[in-house]
C-alpha cells in the first residue's frame, strides 16, 4: 500500500495547494510506493517566503555558531540511529543494493559534524586599511538557498549541500528528485527534532519542469545549488544569472580510469569494477572510460570481463545482490540505446549488453553490467554520459597518450590513476583537467575534501571550506579610528578619501 508524502513548509506537512500529486514506483517491482504532493509555483512561493521570514527574524542565523553546531551534532546522532531504516527506504525507492546504501548513509552524520565544526572555527579577517581605519570583515549567510537534488544518491547529495548551507546560517528550500523524495523529506523532520527551528528548512516535492523550474526562477533566492544533468544545470544556472545570484552546479561526468603497466593488476581490476558498477553505474564519477597501457591491456580486459560477468544482479534488498535495477525505464532505455548505437558505430560488447532474462528480472529495470571494446573518439560513446552500468576499455601507449585521451572529454569531474610509480601518479594527476583524481582508488569522498569539476561538469564545489564559504558572503565594516576631523566641502585642499 502506498504512503502519502507531503510538502514541508514553515514546520508543517501540507498538501499541494491544488491537491495535485504524483507517484513514486519501485524500480524493482513496479509497485507504487508513494503518492507525493506536487508543489505548484504558488506553493514554491509560500516556501520561499517562509524561509525568508525565518532568515529575516534571525531564528537560526541569530543563534551563535557554537549552539548551531550543537544542534547539528544532535541531528548527526539522531541520523546515526536511523541509518538502517533510511537505507531500506532508499533501496526501495531507487533500487540500489541495501549494502551500498547502508555503507553510504553510515557516513552522513560526518557531514553535519564537520560543517558544525567549520561554523565554530570560521573566522573573519582584518585586512590592512591603512592608518586611521580598522577594517573588520565577517562572513555572513546569504539568505534563502534553493537546493535541487537528484535521485542517484538522494540523501548524500542533499546532505552535502544542506550541511554547509545550514551551518553557515542560511534558510533553505529543497526540491528533491521526483524519483527519490522520501528520505530527504524524513531528514527535514529529523533536523527539526534536533532543534533546527521550523521554517528554516522547507521542502517542495514535484517534477523538475514544474516545481524545480518555479524554484530556480524564484527571485527571492540568494543562492541556487543543483546536482543533476548538464542540460538541467545550464537552465538552472541561466535562471540564477537572471537573479544575479551565485550558483553551485555539480553536473555530468565521464571519468577516465588510467591503468599503467606497473599497477597492481588485481587491485586495478577491482578498482575499475568498483568505479564502473557501484550504484549500477549511476553516478557522476562513474569510471566510464577505462584506459589501459597497451602491454597489459589484454590481460586487464580479460580479468575485468570475467569479474563483470560474475556480478550478481537481483533484488536490491537481498544481502548477496551486487547490482540492482536502474532507477527508471527511461534510464534503462538510455543504457540500452547507448549500447546499440555503440555497436552500430563499430564497438564490440565484451560483457553484458542485454536486459537479463528470467522471472526475477521481469518487473524491474534491470540491465546487465556491460563492458565494450573497440571504441574510438569517432563514436558517440566516447563523449556521451550514459549514467548506467556501461563502461569501455581502450589501450594507450605512454603517459602523453594517456593524458591526451583522458582529457579528450567535455566533462572534467573525476578520474583515477592506477600505478605503483609515485612520479607517474603525480605527473598524470597534474596533467588531468578534472576536479578530483584518486590514485590507486576511486569514488572516495570526505566532507572536508572539495568535490566539483571543470568544463561541462559544473561550477564551484561541494564539501570542504570552499563549500562553506560559498554559502556566505563577506561583510565589511570600516571603522574610522583616526580621531581626525574630516570635512571635504569645507576646504579646497587635497584630502585623502580613496
Ligand atoms: O536528471 P535531472 P534526470 C544526469 C545523467 C542522467 C541525466 C538525466 O546523465 O541520465 O542527468 O537524469 C530537477 N528546472 N544526471 O532526468 O533532470 C529534477 O527534478 C529546475 C547526473 O533525473 O537533471 C531533479 O530534482 N530543476 C547527475 C534534478 O533537477 C529541474 C545526477 C536533477 O534531475 C529542471 C542525476 C528544471 N528545468 C542525473 N529539470 C549527477 N551529477 O550525479 C529537472 N530538474
With beta carbons less than 8 A apart as the criterion, state whether 367 and 336 touch.
yes
What are the cell numbers at 204?
517542495
Question: What is the CA(215)–ligand 1 centre distance, in A?
Answer: 14
Residues belonging to the active site: 161, 250, 284, 462
Full pLDDT tens readout for the chain, 498 residues = 579 999 999 999 999 999 999 999 999 999 999 999 999 999 999 999 999 999 999 999 999 999 999 999 999 999 999 999 999 999 999 999 999 999 999 999 999 999 999 999 999 999 999 999 999 999 999 999 999 999 999 999 999 999 999 999 999 999 999 999 999 999 999 999 999 999 999 999 999 999 999 999 999 999 999 999 999 999 999 999 999 999 999 999 999 999 999 999 999 999 999 999 999 999 999 999 999 999 999 999 999 999 999 999 999 999 999 999 999 999 999 999 999 999 999 999 999 999 999 999 999 999 999 999 999 999 999 999 999 999 999 999 999 999 999 999 999 999 999 999 999 999 999 999 999 999 999 999 999 999 999 999 999 999 999 999 999 999 999 999 999 999 999 999 998 886
Query: Which residue lies with its CA nearest to atom 4 of ligand 1?
Result: 229
Question: What is the CA(461)–ligand 1 centre distance, in A?
Answer: 17
Residue-wise DSSP of 427-462: HHHHH--SSEEEES--S---TTS-B--EETTEES-B
Decide: residue 126, CB within 10 A, 0-12 exposed, 13-18 middle, 19+ buried. exposed
Integer Cα distance of 111 and 101 in angstroms: 16
Query: Which residue lies with its CA nearest to atom 26 of ligand 1?
Result: 212
Cα distance from N-terminal residue to C-terminal residue, the chain: 70
Give CA angle at 203 (202, 205), nearest 5°. Answer: 160
Question: What is the CA(177)–ligand 1 centre distance, in A?
Answer: 8
Question: What is the CA(204)–ligand 1 centre distance, in A?
Answer: 16
Which run of H or of E encompasses 190? helix 182-194
From 146, 160, 205, 229, the mutation candidate for ligand 1 (largest count of ligand atoms within 8 A of CB) is 229
Integer Cα distance of 439 and 424 in angstroms: 10
Q: How much is the pTM?
A: 0.98
Query: Which residue lies with its CA nearest to atom 44 of ligand 1?
Result: 208
With beta carbons less than 8 A apart as the criterion, state whether 331 and 348 touch.
no
Instruction: Read off φ and ψ for residue 35, nearest 5 degrees.
Output: -105, 120
Q: Residues near ligand 1 with C-beta < 6 Å?
A: 148-152, 175, 177-178, 207-209, 212-213, 216, 227-229, 232, 235-236, 250-252, 284, 331, 334, 385, 387
Amino acid at each position: 500500500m502506498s504512503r502519502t508524502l507531503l510538502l514541508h513548509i514553515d514546520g508543517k506537512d501540507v498538501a499541494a495547494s491544488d491537491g495535485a500529486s504524483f507517484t513514486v514506483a519501485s524500480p524493482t517491482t513496479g509497485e507504487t510506493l508513494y503518492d507525493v504532493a506536487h508543489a505548484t509555483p504558488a506553493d514554491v512561493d509560500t516556501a520561499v517566503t517562509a524561509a525568508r521570514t525565518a532568515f529575516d527574524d534571525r531564528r537560526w542565523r541569530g543563534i551563535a555558531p557554537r549552539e548551531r553546531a550543537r544542534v547539528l551534532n544532535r541531528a548527526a546522532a539522531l541520523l546515526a540511529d536511523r541509518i538502517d531504516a533510511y537505507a531500506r527506504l532508499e533501496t526501495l525507492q531507487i533500487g540500489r543494493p541495501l549494502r551500498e546504501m547502508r555503507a553510504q548513509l553510515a557516513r552522513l552524520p560526518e557531514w553535519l559534524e564537520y560543517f558544525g565544526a567549520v561554523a565554530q572555527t570560521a573566522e573573519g579577517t582584518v585586512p590592512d586599511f591603512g592608518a586611521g581605519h580598522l577594517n573588520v570583515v565577517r562572513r555572513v549567510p546569504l539568505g534563502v538557498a534553493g537546493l535541487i537534488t537528484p535521485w542517484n544518491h538522494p540523501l548524500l547529495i542533499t546532505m552535502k549541500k544542506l550541511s554547509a548551507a545550514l551551518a553557515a546560517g542560511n534558510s533553505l528550500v529543497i526540491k528533491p528528485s521526483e524519483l527519490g523524495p522520501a528520505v530527504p523529506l524524513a531528514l527535514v523532520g529529523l533536523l527539526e527534532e534536533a532543534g533546527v527551528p521550523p521554517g528554516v528548512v522547507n521542502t517542495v516535492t514535484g517534477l523538475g519542469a514544474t516545481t524545480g523550474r518555479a524554484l530556480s526562477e524564484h527571485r527571492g533566492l540568494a543562492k541556487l545549488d543543483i546536482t543533476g544533468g548538464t542540460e538541467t544545470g545550464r537552465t538552472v544556472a541561466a535562471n540564477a544569472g537572471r537573479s544575479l545570484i551565485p550558483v553551485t552546479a555539480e553536473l555530468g561526468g565521464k571519468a577516465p580510469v588510467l591503468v599503467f603497466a606497473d599497477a597492481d593488476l588485481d587491485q586495478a581490476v577491482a578498482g575499475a569494477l568498483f568505479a564502473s558498477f557501484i550504484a549500477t553505474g549511476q553516478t557522476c564519477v562513474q569510471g566510464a572510460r577505462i584506459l589501459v597501457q597497451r602491454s597489459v591491456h589484454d590481460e586487464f580486459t580479460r580479468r575485468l570481463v570475467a569479474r563483470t560477468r560474475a556480478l550478481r544482479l537481483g533484488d536490491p534488498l537481498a544481502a548477496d545482490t551486487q547490482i540492482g535495477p536502474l532507477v527508471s525505464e527511461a534510464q534503462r532505455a538510455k543504457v540500452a540505446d547507448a549500447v546499440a548505437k555503440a555497436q552500430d558505430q563499430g564497438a564490440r560488447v565484451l560483457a553484458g549488453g542485454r536486459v537479463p532474462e528470467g522471472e526475477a528480472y521481469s518487473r524491474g529495470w534491470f540491465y546487465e553490467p556491460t563492458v565494450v571494446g573497440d571504441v574510438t573518439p569517432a563514436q558517440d560513446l566516447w563523449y556521451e554520459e550514459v549514467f548506467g552500468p556501461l563502461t569501455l576499455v581502450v589501450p594507450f601507449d605512454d603517459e602523453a597518450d594517456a593524458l591526451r585521451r583522458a582529457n579528450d572529454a567535455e566533462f572534467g569531474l573525476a578520474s583515477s590513476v592506477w600505478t605503483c610509480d609515485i612520479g607517474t601518479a603525480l605527473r598524470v594527476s597534474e596533467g588531468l583537467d578534472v576536479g578530483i583524481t584518486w590514485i590507486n582508488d576511486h569514488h572516495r569522498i570526505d566532507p572536508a575534501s572539495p568535490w566539483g569539476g571543470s568544463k561541462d561538469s559544473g561550477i564551484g564545489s561541494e564539501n570542504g571550506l570552499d563549500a562553506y564559504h560559498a554559502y556566505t558572503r563577506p561583510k565589511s565594516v570600516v571603522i574610522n579610528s583616526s580621531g581626525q576631523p574630516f570635512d571635504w566641502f569645507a576646504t579646497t585642499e587635497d584630502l585623502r578619501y580613496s
